[in-house]
Amino acid sequence: MASEPTQTPQTGGSLSDRISTPADAAQSTEVSQDAAGESELQEPDYSVEVKLSDLQADPNNPLYSVKSFEDLGLDDRILKGLSDMGFRKPSKVQERALPLLMRNPPKNLVGQSQSGTGKTAAFVLNILSRIDLSTDLAQTTPQALILAPTRELARQIVGVVQVMGQFLDGLVIGTAVPADTATRPARMECSVVVGTPGTVQDMIKKRIMNPAQLKVLVLDEADNMLDQQGLGDQCIRVKGMLPRTIQVVLFSATFPAHVHRYAEKFAPDANEITLQHEELTVDGIKQLYMDCSSDEEKYSNLVQLYGLLTVGSSIIFVRTRASAAEIEKRMIAEGHTVASLTGGIEGSQRDAVIDAFRTGEAKVLITTNVLARGIDVSTVSLVVNYDIPEAYAGGSRSREPDYQTYLHRIGRTGRFGRIGVAISFVSNRDEWEMLRKIQQHFNCSIERIDTNDWDEVEDLIKRTLKNSRAQANFVAS
């Protein structure tokens, strides 16, 4: 990166003129020529590293790694559910995780794998293979608990359990998320519970949910769950209410070092599955950025992009609830169809918005980081970072990028090897510096879009999304 100018940059002109020039700026005009090239949009290719807590585990054992679901000795009804989901063989993460998850006696597992690699299916498969549905009492007694940071992710996981377990007679799934009113069931009569930590804690305290027979505890997006003070405290309290013999499974796309140290205490003596840090950037996502001279130009560019946003489905990430509400209001007033989802919206309304987005009734969703993690909508082809994700220190903005949130945000597109596009807007020195640091951190290329020619912008993005692999019917592998 060139040295920064000593004078305060003036408003107007490109950001590279006003602040600095990236090392690859000279190539930015060539983006359109090779954007859809095979060399730049490789399918994710990564190796899985396994750390065994039990030194007696035999890497030569045929179940150390599996090449087919049949190798696991699964119930035929579960195999049928997997087939209905489109799973033909285990993903690379599942090849190594499933034998460790399903071995007996059960062992704890800490798993780190990028979005779209099948980690949700892995822990659900483990749960369905362990629960007992042989009696009416067993079917209505909680035996597995899955905790997620948001109601949206909890509801999505419920959907995976429902589809994968649809042929299992007597499978009952309970959802423990905040309700709009004070109404609560008299008792959680189900074999699998999926919920958020605070609500589960409340239900156990009020004896609505009996944890005595729980066999498996899963934390999805575990780094976020254990790092956030409120959620972390709640997770600790919930775990303290559960049987000591419970199998603890932690899964996330990222595990910062300080959270990983804590995870080792939360899930003691655990087997570990990890991807190398530099392999975490999703290769199937074309990462771009737009220079904007002001916040108003950010909005103008977003409106210009609207036609592309509706080619498939798109998510626009903003920093605050107020920004989401303002952008939604302005775009609707100008005749554009958009939806907004933030943490300030009542639960049932949030459910309605995300359901409309999943079905395609709403194609453009404006949201805060509440949807940055875990949400998997296969039609999402474009993510816009209207505001660069920023880390907070002591409740205040740090002017430092939030690397993990950036990774999770762009991971909402390019799911399971599909092609996706992520566009970040930068309008001042702080945003430029944060984007530069993100590029350095992940050792990736984030290329500039020339907004002086919107026909060229449209052509670039459309050709990227129309790459043959983006349109192919994907089979999970």
Domains, the chain, with CATH or none: 48-275 (3.40.50.300), 285-468 (3.40.50.300)
Band (pLDDT 50/70/90 cuts) for residue 5 is very low
More confident residue, 165 or 31: 165
Band (pLDDT 50/70/90 cuts) for residue 242 is very high
Q: DSSP code of 272?
A: E
CA distances from 1 to 17, 23, 447 (A): 13, 5, 14
For 258, other C-beta atoms within 10 Å of its C-beta total 11
Task: Give the mean pLDDT of 100-117.
Answer: 85
- Name which of 202-211, 325-334, 341-350 the model is least confident about: 341-350
pLDDT tens-digit map of 401-414: 998 889 888 888 86
CA distances from 249 to 79, 191, 246, 368, 423 (A): 22, 18, 10, 27, 34
Q: Check whether 180 has a pLDDT greater than 70.
A: no
- Name which of 240-249, 273-282, 357-366 the model is least confident about: 273-282
Task: Give the mean pLDDT of 168-172.
Answer: 96
Q: Check whether 174 has a pLDDT greater than 70.
A: yes
User: What is the pLDDT, as a whole number, of residue 125?
Assistant: 95
In terms of DSSP bridges, do strands 144-147 and 192-195 run parallel, antiparallel, or are they unpaired?
Answer: parallel
- Name which of 84-93, 112-121, 143-152 the model is least confident about: 112-121
User: What is the pLDDT, as a whole number, of residue 416?
Assistant: 53
Give the DSSP per-residue string, 183-207: ---S----SEEEE-HHHHHHHHHTT
Q: What percent of the chain has pLDDT over 90?
A: 37
User: What is the pLDDT, as a whole number, of residue 417?
Assistant: 56
Task: Give the mean pLDDT of 118-140.
Answer: 94
Long-range own/partner contacts, residues 203-209 (CB < 8 A, 24 or more apart):
203/176, 204/238, 204/241, 208/184, 209/142, 209/174, 209/176
User: What is the pLDDT, as a whole number, of residue 42?
Assistant: 34
pLDDT tens-digit map of 284-322: 688 999 999 998 999 999 998 888 887 778 999 999 889
pLDDT tens-digit map of 414-461: 665 567 899 999 999 999 999 999 999 888 889 999 888 888 888 888
Radius of gyration of the chain (CA): 23
Distance of CA 137 to the CA centre of its chain: 35
User: What is the pLDDT, as a whole number, of residue 418?
Assistant: 65
Q: Name the nearest CA neighbour of 381 among 457, 458, 312, 464.
A: 312
